[in-house]
Amino acid sequence: MSYATFTTLTAFTKLSQVTVFFVDYTVLTMRTAPFGLNQAKAMFGKESNWLLCDILFPDGRTVTVRSSCPVGAEGYVHFALQFKHWAERSPDSRRREAEQLATEQEEVFALT
């Protein structure tokens, strides 16, 4: 399965939430962990660098995994993280990245 094939991507940046509807009918919602789950890390002076991912699979199973250890859902979580990082960037930064990618693709096609 290609995780790049999706039907809908939604980012609610003020809520720090990302939802991805994949073409195989899997739905992933990525959100910040509630305060209680991050409390232990806060006690040691470290920021939490993971998110909770609620995943609904086509067969009706649901799981919640951490983005730092998405056992059984690695591809889905990886793709959602890529989208989240892209969505959090400024429009100007996205434009520059698209221009750079287009330039790189032209260079590769020129070599073939």
- Cβ neighbours of residue 47 under 8 Å, at least 6 residues apart? 41
Q: Would residue 29 count as lying in a domain?
A: yes
Q: Is the pLDDT of residue 110 over 50?
A: yes
Express each pLDDT in 29-59 by its tens digit: 998 877 655 555 555 555 556 789 999 999 9
Per residue in 84-101, pLDDT (tens digit) is 888 888 889 989 988 998
Task: Provide the residue range defining the domain that includes 21.
Answer: 6-111
Q: How many CB atoms lie within 10 A of CB 38?
A: 15
Residues contacting residue 83 through CB under 8 Å, at least 6 positions apart? 9, 11, 18, 20
User: How many domains does the chain fold into?
Assistant: 1
Which pair of structure tokens corresponds to residue 110?
């020129």
Q: Is there a domain that residue 23 lies in?
A: yes
Tell me, yes or no, whether 40 lies in a domain.
yes
Residue 55 lies in a domain: yes
- Asked whether residue 52 is assigned to any structural domain, the reply reads yes
Q: What are the tokens at 18?
A: 């990302």
Is the residue at 32 inside a domain? yes
Residue 1 belongs to some domain of the structure: no
CATH of the domain at 94: 3.30.1120
3-state secondary structure of 8: strand
- pLDDT score at 11: 67
H/E segment holding residue 21: strand 17-22
* pLDDT given at position 57: 95
Half-sphere exposure of residue 10: CA atoms within 13 angstroms, side-chain side: 11
**pTM summary value:** 0.70
Give domain status of residue 74, yes or no: yes
Stated length of the chain: 112
